[in-house]
Amino acid sequence: MTHDELKSLVPVFALDALGSEEEQELVAHLKVCLECSNILAEHRETAGMLGFAAGSLQAPGDLRDRILSQAAKTSRLQAIAPPVQLKSPSRRSWGGQWAGLAAAACVVALVAVGLTFLRIGGQADRLDRQEQVIAQQREVLNLITSPDSIVLAMAPTEASPGGEGRAFISDREGAAAVVVSGLRDPGDDVYTLWLIVDGEPQPVADFVPHDGLALVPVDGAVEPEMTLAVTVEPNRGNTSPRGPVIMAASRA
């Protein structure tokens, strides 16, 4: 089907009224078409509102208890696992290049922060640590500017305190990095990046932004179906998430 033909099916899809073959084709199209995805969001809202036309029916008292009881048994690990994907991953486009340049600017800013600290500190251990940080930042810069890397926007969740995030993934390098900007200081909390594999979150790193900026390297490949998510944690070193997801992206 052409784009216009698929677009014409979006309102029908929002009503759950497509046959299975057309639905499959449209679902595949929606993964790569932002225009149709946006139209679908509007029609889904309308379709959901249509549900109120059905009228109400008194729910039995035990249904509430059953749901709350089941919710209590549901791990928040499961709850954070499914990602929200803002847009489909794609090979580096002009937009991706601009995202890369913006991220590179963030890295430069962070390197500047590191150098400033280096001059002020002057102690050997601090110097070693800063050299490590700068080396790490250079690795991330290489990754960001790698022509094979793909860029994913980290979709903010309802719990997001603001800020933006992008994930840069290079299959050739077998590595990835997340660059965030505009993120507020977490105070006594800490941000944590997680890699979610088969629904199981694995901690990548705890981080605190400098002037709203942070970059977090991911050592290892981020395969399709894996999800990157950032949470706000009450303390460092958590092996499973305790706080809410504020942004997430998936290659799925």
* For other proteins, the closer CB: 35 or 148: 35
Q: Is 197 in the site for other proteins (CB under 8 A)?
A: no
Q: Which of 6, 29, 30, 83 binds other proteins (CB under 8 A)?
A: 83
> Do residues 144 and 100 make contact, with C-beta atoms less than 8 angstroms apart?
yes
Q: Is 198 in the site for other proteins (CB under 8 A)?
A: no
**CA 127, CA 125: separation in Å to the nearest integer?**
5
- Burial of residue 38 (number of CB atoms within 10 Å: 0-12, 13-18, 19+): exposed
- Which stretch, 17-25, 102-110, 117-125, 138-146, contacts other proteins (CB under 8 A)? 17-25
Pairing of strands 190-197, 227-233: antiparallel
- Which stretch, 46-54, 96-104, 146-154, 210-218, contacts other proteins (CB under 8 A)? 46-54
**CA 247, CA 86: separation in Å to the nearest integer?**
10
Pairing of strands 150-156, 245-250: antiparallel
Could you tell me how far CA 142 lies from the centroid of its own chain? 21
Q: Is 52 in the site for other proteins (CB under 8 A)?
A: yes
Q: Is 235 in the site for other proteins (CB under 8 A)?
A: no
**CA 105, CA 101: separation in Å to the nearest integer?**
6
Q: Is 72 in the site for other proteins (CB under 8 A)?
A: yes
Q: Is 9 in the site for other proteins (CB under 8 A)?
A: yes
* For other proteins, the closer CB: 105 or 252: 252
Q: Which of 101, 105, 159, 252 binds other proteins (CB under 8 A)?
A: 159
198 token code pair: 């088969």
Supply the minimum distance, in Å, between the C-beta of residue 241 and other proteins: 10
- Which stretch, 125-133, 179-187, 208-216, 242-250, contacts other proteins (CB under 8 A)? 242-250
Instruction: Report CA-CA distances (Å) from 135 to 32, 86, 111, 219.
Output: 36, 31, 10, 14
3-state secondary structure of 17: coil
Q: Is 54 in the site for other proteins (CB under 8 A)?
A: yes
**CA 37, CA 140: separation in Å to the nearest integer?**
32
> Do residues 213 and 185 make contact, with C-beta atoms less than 8 angstroms apart?
no
Supply the minimum distance, in Å, between the C-beta of residue 139 and other proteins: 30
Q: Is 60 in the site for other proteins (CB under 8 A)?
A: yes
Q: Which of 26, 31, 32, 84 binds other proteins (CB under 8 A)?
A: 84
Q: Which positions lie near other proteins, rule CB under 8 A? A: 8-9, 11-12, 14-19, 41-60, 63-64, 66-68, 70-72, 74, 76, 78-80, 82-84, 155, 157-159, 244-245, 248
